[in-house]
């Protein structure tokens, strides 16, 4: 009997350890019944296009600022306001001043510009009244589900709610405080292109390097 209990405890520990280390193996964003929104607690991600790209940013993280041109270029290429390719959605997991948030809005304007007509009641923050594509996720409702740890970090989500790519945008940053003179690995763009071409995403995950999200 004692041996059986020990064996059961060992099996339970192995299972829990597996899901703790590999949380994305069971991560799936759930859509509501009419398929119009992805529901995450009190926040709703609009389901009006084929793909969702969730990007975690922090106005006080230098890399979040430095990557604005790269993300804006991708948004211009894949998220034309009349296109049906990708929704670019920005997640702010750390509290910041209104001044810093407005600055982030300004430098990411090409990424945000297609959302001018989204009604305020889609996402209503009582203090700042933010709406898609800028989510103030200070309670970590979203980042806990997608298991975000870094800013900037990206998550490409298919229409079924499955994360098909997560992690770094490219290989411009080699380690904290060090960047390369050129970028020759475009992880996010490759994943987008492969999916849109009905191909398998060859590299579904690449560890992001940046500012740690404090929990």
Domain of 201, in residue numbers: 28-212
Determine, yes or no, domain membership for 20: no
Residue 48: how many CB atoms within 10 A of its CB?
13
Rg (CA), the chain: 18
Determine, yes or no, domain membership for 153: yes
Determine, yes or no, domain membership for 6: no
Reported as type and span, the H/E element at residue 77 is: helix 68-78
| DSSP state, residue 15 | H
Determine, yes or no, domain membership for 202: yes
Determine, yes or no, domain membership for 106: yes
Total structural domains within the chain: 1
Q: What is the CATH number of the domain that holds 62?
A: 3.40.30.10
Whether the Cβ atoms of residue 40 and residue 29 lie closer than 8 Å to each other:
yes
Task: For the chain, give the longest Cα–Cα distance.
Answer: 66
pLDDT at 40: 53
Determine, yes or no, domain membership for 115: yes
For residue 56, name the pLDDT band (cuts at 50, 70, 90).
Answer: very high
Whether the Cβ atoms of residue 138 and residue 41 lie closer than 8 Å to each other:
no
Tens of pLDDT, residues 203-214: 999 999 999 999
Tens of pLDDT, residues 28-51: 455 444 444 455 555 555 555 568
Phi/psi class of residue 196: alpha, beta or left (left: φ > 0; alpha: ψ in -120 to 50)?
Answer: alpha
Determine, yes or no, domain membership for 112: yes
Determine, yes or no, domain membership for 52: yes
CA distance 132 to 140: 16
The answer, as to whether pTM is greater than 0.85, is no
Tens of pLDDT, residues 100-158: 888 998 999 888 876 643 433 433 443 433 445 778 888 888 888 889 999 999 999 88
């Amino acid at each position: 009997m004692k041996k059986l209990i020990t064996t059961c405890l060992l099996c339970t520990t192995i299972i829990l350890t597996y899901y703790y280390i590999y949380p994305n193996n069971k991560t799936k964003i759930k859509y509501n019944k009419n398929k119009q929104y992805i529901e995450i607690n009190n926040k709703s991600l609009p389901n009006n296009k084929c793909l969702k790209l969730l990007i975690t940013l922090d106005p006080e993280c230098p890399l979040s600022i430095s990557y604005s041109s790269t993300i804006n270029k991708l948004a211009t290429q894949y998220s034309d306001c009349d296109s049906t390719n990708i929704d670019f959605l920005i997640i702010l997991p750390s509290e910041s001043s209104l001044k810093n948030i407005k600055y982030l809005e300004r430098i990411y304007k090409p990424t945000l510009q297609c959302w001018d007509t989204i009604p305020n009641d889609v996402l209503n923050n009582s203090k700042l009244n933010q709406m898609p594509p800028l989510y103030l996720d200070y309670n970590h409702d979203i980042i806990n589900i997608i298991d975000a740890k870094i800013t900037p970090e990206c998550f490409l989500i298919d229409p079924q709610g499955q994360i098909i790519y997560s992690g770094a945008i490219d290989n411009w940053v080699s380690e904290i405080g060090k960047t390369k003179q050129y970028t020759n690995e475009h992880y996010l763009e490759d994943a987008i292109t492969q999916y849109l071409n009905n191909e398998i995403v060859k590299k579904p995950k690449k560890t992001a390097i940046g500012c740690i999200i404090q929990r």
